[in-house]
Chain A
């Protein structure tokens, strides 16, 4: 079932980019595909967001905490990071700080169920925020909007 869903026609995101047929299993990914790193300790949210983004034509990498996310950034070179804030092992603040200290300029969109989504986003210098629970339209819009302005040094 999963496989069927992932391999189905790309959504709005896919249609906008030429040859934007995305596959989470990598392999023959077109070089220009937008890779989204999703960081969340909640397995369900991680799964849901990954599926939705893959379905919308994005490449997706996952991490369950800040430390995994740092490794993923080095390995996958994502175009954008969707970042949960409250996580075990390494939280969103520490991750964001380490990321900036390393000089990485990947856009970050904070994704939190706490009250202070906007404030926290400002705190860590994130490009945007998504207050959970969000609508899928908002999720996809946010990724599209901020992934475009990837600020690589």
Chain B
């Protein structure tokens, strides 16, 4: 076996291997370009196998086999032209011209059996060469507009086409001038092999090769993804993800962010300000979002005929998309698309899903960073407000401390040492009014904080029954007949300090507005599943029916109360209602003038055990 024969056999083997691979793929996934590629290699291999079989069997090639071979050979540029159109788009006129030239060549080959006139051979060769070189040019020109995997594939195809052109050129020259036959054979075989490999790599890159090409793009995307959340605005991040996805897939990419409020996926306009919204399940992106699964759509216009015009206008033909989802939070959709169907393969589904998952991580981190910033800004604003209030409170209380303390000190001495001749009555008024001023300041500050939502603090498990009983004994002490009935185990989550404040306020009211010897009743019980109930009853002056609806309003007090000594600012019940309501509870009053008054409080009962488990 000569070296030449070895090269020839090797070439054929490679051709056969490629043909099997591409034909298998064409039958498995019969997309137009897969079929074209399969036919291209199938035909080539058929010619090779056929001629070797004929040679091996010692059959003299006859006119019929020659015609078949010639016709099949000329189908090769035809499929090449189709593939060029599929991949890069050639004009309709070019396609028509190319197709007719090829048809003409086949006719010429059939019409002129060998030995053919030189001119016919030269013309047929020229058509072949022109078509292949044209295809090479088309692919080369397209390189500019592609990137990543696609760019590499285009390069390989352009190279393959150039090799094929050279094969035909050499063969034609050989046919015209038999003197160069030896050299011609070597060149043809080498070039044919180069063509086969280039085409295989370009048209039908095996999965391993695609992965290898995608890997660096993917790696750079993943590396960059770690920094993306801190990059700047969400728009900039979206643009970066799109760029990375485009590089990794070799097509274009666009990311639609889910706008919960508007119910649309928002896509950034390419090269224009603003966004356009897609309402799921509209368009393929909307369908991907709605169904929450990746999709591979070979021909968008055919897959979604209602919107064919949209896809055409945006040059979208093949679409590979995946939902961007973080846990159960649906964030959006990432789609890779291209005007050229062969740019993606089904394998890209996995890649796009991977990119979408990465995008989810990036967007989620970004959202968390935004959220943290919002919380910080809110806290800052709250703190500033709080600072003002706290500062005001501090400054009001400081002089009050001296006034109350000094007044009480004077009162003590005056009582202890009547010989001093101090005006006890006057000093007592001073003490009383300064204490009242303290209550007013406290009420005012509580009401301000209530309105800012700052009054009620963190909740902790509290035995409300015990709290109520303790407050009642502390407030009423020995001053009054007191009946306390509190069920054991009334435990719920609440701000015990503030609930204490409510019960204290109700008891203070009850004591103010009832005769000194009358009995007070305090109760706490569980009201079925309704929660925890507390009531404070007195046998006092009662509240007129006309006042009842307003009793919890600001600056209100019963119209039958004319003793100014009783009153704070009338904010006590307003604050109590606020505290109860911020616990998710309810406060109301029942009263009969002259009979007495009962205030009711209902607090939701949070199962303490369950909450504790959640906290663990």
Contact = CB atoms under 8 A, between A and B. Distances in A.
Interface of A: 5, 8-9, 11, 42, 44-45, 47-49, 51-52, 55, 86, 113-115, 132-136, 139
Contacts of B438: 133
Nearest to B497: A118
A136 B408 contact: yes
B58 interface: no
B404 A133 contact: yes
A3 to B, nearest CB: 14
A45 to B, nearest CB: 5
A47 B394 CA distance: 19
Contacts, number: 63
A132 to B, nearest CB: 4
Nearest to B410: A5
Contacts of B399: 44
A136 B401 contact: no
Decide if the interface of chain B is mainly helix, strand, loop or mixed. helix
Interface string B395-417: 10111111111101100110011
Interface in B417-470: 417, 438
B54 interface: no
A55 B405 CA distance: 13
A8 B420 CA distance: 11
A143 B412 CA distance: 18
Contacts of B408: 135-136
Nearest to B393: A115
A144 B580 CA distance: 37
A49 B438 CA distance: 18
B390 interface: yes
A45 B409 CA distance: 12
Contacts of B400: 132-133
22 contacts: A8-B413, A8-B417, A9-B416, A9-B417, A11-B412, A42-B398, A42-B402, A45-B401, A48-B401, A49-B405, A52-B409, A55-B409, A113-B393, A113-B398, A113-B401, A114-B390, A134-B404, A134-B405, A135-B404, A135-B408, A136-B409, A139-B405
B413 A55 contact: yes
Given A52-B405, A55-B413, A115-B393, 10 more contacts: A8-B413, A9-B416, A11-B412, A42-B401, A45-B405, A48-B401, A115-B390, A132-B400, A132-B401, A133-B401
A9 B397 CA distance: 30
A133 B397 contact: yes
Contacts of B402: 42, 44-45, 47-48
Contact of A113 (B394, B406, B412, B417): B394
A8 B84 CA distance: 114
B417 A133 contact: no
B416 A114 contact: no
B402 to A, nearest CB: 4
A113 B400 CA distance: 10
Contacts of A8: 413, 416-417
B397 A132 contact: yes
Which among A11, A135, A136 has the greatest number of chain B C-beta atoms within 10 A?
A136
A11 B390 CA distance: 35
Contacts of A42: 398, 401-402
A45 B404 contact: no
Contacts of A55: 409, 412-413
A75 B238 CA distance: 68
Given A42-B402, A44-B399, A45-B401, A136 B390 contact: no
B475 to A, nearest CB: 15
B394 A136 contact: no
A45 B412 CA distance: 18
Contact of B405 (A11, A114, A115, A136): A136
Given A49-B405, A135-B408, A114 B394 contact: yes
Contact of B398 (A52, A132, A134, A139): A132
Nearest to A41: B398
A134 B402 CA distance: 9
B413 A5 contact: yes
A45 B390 contact: no
Contacts of A47: 402
B405 A133 contact: yes
Contacts of B393: 113-115
Interface in B536-591: none
A46 B107 CA distance: 118
Which among A9, A51, A132 has the greatest number of chain B C-beta atoms within 10 A?
A132
Contacts of A133: 397, 400-401, 403-405, 438
